[in-house]
């Protein structure tokens, strides 16, 4: 069985989606990026440059998960959009309109159960953690670890504090919670840890040009060897170790996951012609 890695932000668009994609593209085995952000998904218009999939996304999956959970869990991996040519990293596109989030609220437990039933890890981009309706709380609760993605600034740490308290109430403790620091800022990781009471699990550097490849589908040569992806390759094992230590603390030692390395994904597998046919990305 795989694990769920949930990523949330304290707001301010620090780079949750970018971090989810950077981690997925350097993950050592099959992985699904699930766009669970109640504010809407951005991978199709961003990384994939306007590619429109054949109609299967979070809403359709949620309906199927409510109707027939076993079939939804079994079919999920076959329905997803590949992020790399080898189809090792797949994405479940998110909502296209934030107004869908309220209607989706009752479905999150069923959706979380289908993620937990996958044979591969799931990186869930849960967007900004807020107090409103439609938050994917069931996904957070099912996660082996919840990473609060934030910029190294006092403003972000300030915004993260109540969110960490919300996670403590939801999960019963902050054992599964860690900070994933990303992008520009000067607030030291050590101070962040002591201010927020949870560890910094990894740091992704300020690398705007690599980030734009992931967030906006920009082209960049030597993206895979850039600072962001180099750090993401180091961050993934730290997240997995943290998750495994939490699982074994609850249930005893687990069999090691299949760690057969696979190459870092660089380019989306979506052919440019598909993007052009969809009428997007002409001005890329
Ligand atoms: N490590 C980084 N260094 C520099 N820029 C970054 C980094 N990570 C992300 N960015 C940039 O920050 C912006 C926001 O990134 P992203 O869309 O991933 O944030 P988000 O937290 O998912 O936002 P939202 O809550 O709106 O979904 C993008 O322009 C992206 O290229
Ligand atoms: Mg996002």
Q: With contact defined as beta carbons under 8 Å apart, do 4 and 112 qualify?
A: yes
CB 148 within 8 A of CB 10: yes
Nearest CA to ligand 1 atom 7: 183
274 or 170, higher pLDDT: 170
Instruction: Using the predicted structure, report yes or no on whether residue 266 has a pLDDT greater than 50.
Output: no
Average pLDDT rounded to a whole number, residues 235-253: 82
Distance separating alpha carbons of residues 7 and 165, to the nearest angstrom = 16
**From 55-59, 139-143, 261-265, the region with the lowest mean pLDDT:** 261-265
pLDDT of 48? 86
Q: Please tell me what DSSP assigns to residue 249.
A: H
Pick left, alpha or beta for residue 40 (phi over 0 → left; psi -120 to 50 → alpha; otherwise beta). Answer: left
Is 284's pLDDT higher than 80? no
Locate the ligand 1 atom nearest the alpha carbon of residue 205 and give its number: 1
pLDDT score recorded for residue 56: 82
d(CA 62, CA 136): 12
Q: What is the pLDDT of residues 117-176, one digit of tens each?
A: 999 999 999 999 999 889 999 999 999 999 999 999 999 999 999 999 999 999 999 999
CA 42 – ligand 2 centroid, Å = 6
- Report how many domains make up the chain: 1
Residues 6+ apart with CB under 8 A from 70: none
Residue 60 in domain: yes
Residue 260 lies in a domain: no
Closest ligand 1 atom to Cα of 128 = 25
pLDDT of residue 259: 47
What pLDDT, on the 0 to 100 scale, is given for residue 273?
A: 38
- Give the structural domain span for 134: 4-252
pLDDT for position 212: 96
In a domain, 80, yes or no: yes
The CB-based long-range contact list for 188-196 (8 Å cut-off, 24+ gap) reads 188/152, 189/152, 191/157, 192/150, 192/152, 192/157, 195/157, 195/161, 196/148, 196/157, 196/160, 196/161, 196/164
CA of 212 to the centre of ligand 1 (A): 8
pLDDT above 90 for 187: yes
Ligand 2 centroid from CA 92, angstroms: 13
Query: At a CB cut-off of 8 Å and minimum separation 6, what does 258 contact?
Result: 29
* 280 in any annotated domain: no
Q: Per residue in 61-113, pLDDT tens?
A: 999 999 999 999 999 988 899 999 899 999 999 999 999 999 999 999 999 99
Query: Is 229 inside any structural domain?
Result: yes
The protein residue whose alpha carbon is closest to atom 4 in ligand 1 is 208
The atom of ligand 1 lying closest to the CA of 21 is 18
Q: Is residue 174 part of a domain?
A: yes
The reply to whether 166 falls in a domain is yes
Q: Establish if 205 belongs to a structural domain.
A: yes
CA 40 to ligand 1: nearest atom: 27
- In percent, the amount of the chain with pLDDT more than 70 equals 86
Structural contact between residues 66 and 103, judged by C-beta atoms closer than 8 angstroms: no
Distance (angstroms) between ligand 1 centre and the Cα of 18 equals: 6
Please compute the mean of the pLDDT values over residues 186-199 and round it to a whole number. 96
Which of 215, 218, 230 has most ligand 1 atoms within 8 Å of its beta carbon, as the pocket-test mutant? Answer: 215
Which ligand is closest to the CA of 16, given by its number? 1
61: domain CATH number?
A: 3.40.50.300
Is residue 47's pLDDT more than 90? Answer: no
Of residues 92 and 250, the one with the higher pLDDT is 92
């Amino acid at each position: 069985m795989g694990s769920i890695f949930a990523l949330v932000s304290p707001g301010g668009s620090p780079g949750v989606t970018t971090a989810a994609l950077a981690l997925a593209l350097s993950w050592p085995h099959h992985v699904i990026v699930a766009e669970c952000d109640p504010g809407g998904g951005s991978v199709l218009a961003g990384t994939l440059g306007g590619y429109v999939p054949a109609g299967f996304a979070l809403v359709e999956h949620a309906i199927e998960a409510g109707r027939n959970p076993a079939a939804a869990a079994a079919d999920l991996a076959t329905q997803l959009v590949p992020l790399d040519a080898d189809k090792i990293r797949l994405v479940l596109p998110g909502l296209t309109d934030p107004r869908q989030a309220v209607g989706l609220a009752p479905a999150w437990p069923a959706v979380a159960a289908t993620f937990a039933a996958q044979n591969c890890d799931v990186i869930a981009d849960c967007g900004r953690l807020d107090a409103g309706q439609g938050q994917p709380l069931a996904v957070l609760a099912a996660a082996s670890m919840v990473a609060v993605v934030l910029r190294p600034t006092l403003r972000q740490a300030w915004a993260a504090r109540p969110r960490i308290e919300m996670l403590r109430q939801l999960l019963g403790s902050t054992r599964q919670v860690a900070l994933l620091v990303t992008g520009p800022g000067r607030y030291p990781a050590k101070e962040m840890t002591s201010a927020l009471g949870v560890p910094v699990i990894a740091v992704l550097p300020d690398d705007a040009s690599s980030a734009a490849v992931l967030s906006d589908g920009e082209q960049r040569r030597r993206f895979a060897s850039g600072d962001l992806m180099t750090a993401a390759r180091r961050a993934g094992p730290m997240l997995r170790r943290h998750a495994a230590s939490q699982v074994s603390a609850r249930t005893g030692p687990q069999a090691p996951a299949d760690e057969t390395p696979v190459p870092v994904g660089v380019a989306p597998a979506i052919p440019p012609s598909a993007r052009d046919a969809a009428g997007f990305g002409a001005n890329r």
